[in-house]
Structure 1
């Protein structure tokens, strides 16, 4: 499994003792990192939720209002926005849970956990597929004209959703609620032997590192490297700007995801060795919290790289803002005229 709904902000799983089928397991109590998580994680989750909901909703509005959805690029952007929203919508629930306890019931625990990871995984895969699509369109332009049809994007998008669904399905099976005497109601991987839980966590960790980081990173580096080479020799007036944007996309992906996956890999190695998750060293906990927040933040800002950096979406946004300003100006002018007529003295001609 991946990180047990991020280990319920660590405060939810770092209890002193817990019993699984009459087997007593001693777990280190990490008070400092638990207190840190209970304060920082809810604030950050609420912030990411607000930013992502506003940004992605605006992109969705502009896309549906001004663009033709039945194009390859726009359909990919639509799928990416939907993925980000699926990832974003459960965040307020997890934010509250990290600071308190789970109060939303067992079914909601399963649904929100699987929905969260469903959006999480599909976001990364759609970013990767959009990179591949741009590589085909730029490097193999002639071939792209014959193959980049709507059937192509439907098949690719459907494949991404199916892979993401089955990757997140174990969350729905394993997640559930249980009561803890110290922390109250928990929402985490439960209901199985400790060894079985660790085995599924190990599978999730390596799935995250290999399938949702290393492979996407290699594909992104390969595709954008060849795109940059193609643009370098092309005769186009905006190629420097395009190359800088590509560099920014790669840099953002690498900076946001590399530290997080390094921590995930360390946790996987600890489980493989049969040691406790961090041998009571809270530095791993602090690093995990910080790196996870950075990675989650990238899921909310990545649509901007594919939309507002483009001329079309900036033009659409300017039109919407312009209409709002004109509407506000007309409203104020109408209100002012109405008040003026009310207070103006009457004449014999009225």
Structure 2
């Protein structure tokens, strides 16, 4: 649910100024929020399948698998908040209490922030594996993976401080509904203006510009390496790389732009228009985060083969129709690394 308040940045006690009428875009958000339940179920099944495959066929001692598991966990953390958000948007009223408001808000942003950073980290790791091949085998080890993941979780957690402080429940006396959102007024002993400003720039630079630059740079380097190699399937790989970058750009950038522009809205009418854009782009971004761990896993030939092995094992009748190759674990050469793309 979206609503707009005028903020009064003074040292005197203040109360929220009445929100403008946002029934139009709020109704759109309520209708689109039905997708949240489907995304939650699909993510639970798909990401669970990724974990099963890694547990069944792989060991959690490779850099790629450690990063993939952390990406899956961050996606599941984020998706766990969507059923609560769906109910909230449909009822236009928070019914789960103040404690759950804090928890759901923190979980939402922790999963949200960590997912995009893990996507960037996974892309950077593939860049190291493909572009530098054996030269970085001493760098790409378990310690590197664990430390990198720890940094991502730490940064994501610190980025949630603003939400942990400002995100709370409050009741507006006109409609007598309970909201779960960043409190629109001032909070004693806290510089709310500075906190909001820092959150704005953190979202802009750390969770929009930085991952976009990393992902585009890394995949450009990968594409150049593939094209200059002697690999027969290089054109198919370059096409796949282009699709990955394009999907991330299409799904992630519009939502961030709409989110940042919405925060800067100066009038009720402007907030309404940007509210419509925010609801649509938000669902596109959520769908991407829902499928990204599955997408990053099953585009690889190795994981496709593991999936076929699972199907044949549990459904023997499919053996005539599903081809399964008994391939060994890939080595660190450029060619075998590209087979995982």
Q: TM-score, normalised by structure 1?
A: 0.82
The equivalent residue for 2:287 is: 297
Q: In the alignment, does 2:111 pair up with 1:116?
A: no
CA contact (8 A) 1:263 1:287 kept: yes
2:124 to 128, 132, 140: 132
> How far apart are 1:293 and its partner, in Å?
0.9
Q: In the alignment, does 2:298 pair up with 1:308?
A: yes
Matches within 5 A, 1:190-339: 190=183, 192-193=185-186, 197=192, 199-270=194-265, 275-276=266-267, 278-280=268-270, 282-326=272-316
The gaps in structure 1 that reach 5 residues or longer are 1-8, 330-350
CA contact (8 A) 1:176 1:191 kept: no
The alpha-carbon distance between structure 1 residues 183 and 88, as it changes in their structure 2 partners (threshold 3 A), is farther
The gaps in structure 2 that reach 5 residues or longer are 320-341
> How far apart are 1:17 and its partner, in Å?
12
> How far apart are 1:321 and its partner, in Å?
1.5
Greater CA radius of gyration, 1 or 2?
1
Cα RMSD (Å): 2.6
Range that drifts further, 200-209 or 238-247: 200-209
- Give the whole-Å Cα distance in 1 for the aligned partners of 2:193 and 2:281: 22
CA contact (8 A) 1:87 1:120 kept: yes
Q: TM-score, normalised by structure 2?
A: 0.84
The equivalent residue for 2:22 is: 30
Q: In the alignment, does 2:154 pair up with 1:159?
A: no
> How far apart are 1:324 and its partner, in Å?
2.2
Deviations 1:110-153 (A, max 9, x none): 11111111011111101101111111111112321221111111
Q: In the alignment, does 2:52 pair up with 1:57?
A: no
CA contact (8 A) 1:105 1:177 kept: yes
> How far apart are 1:44 and its partner, in Å?
1.7
Matches within 5 A, 1:50-129: 50-100=41-91, 101-129=93-121
The equivalent residue for 1:185 is: 178
- Give the whole-Å Cα distance in 2 for the aligned partners of 1:208 and 1:287: 18
- Give the whole-Å Cα distance in 2 for the aligned partners of 1:327 and 1:82: 33
CA contact (8 A) 2:204 2:260 kept: yes
Runs of 4+ in 1 over 6 A off after TM superposition: 15-18
CA contact (8 A) 1:110 1:175 kept: yes
CA contact (8 A) 1:48 1:300 kept: yes
Q: In the alignment, does 2:145 pair up with 1:150?
A: no
CA contact (8 A) 2:16 2:185 kept: no
CA contact (8 A) 1:114 1:172 kept: yes
Partner SS state of residue 160, structure 2? helix
> How far apart are 1:199 and its partner, in Å?
4.7
- Give the whole-Å Cα distance in 2 for the aligned partners of 1:17 and 1:231: 53
Partner SS state of residue 170, structure 2? strand
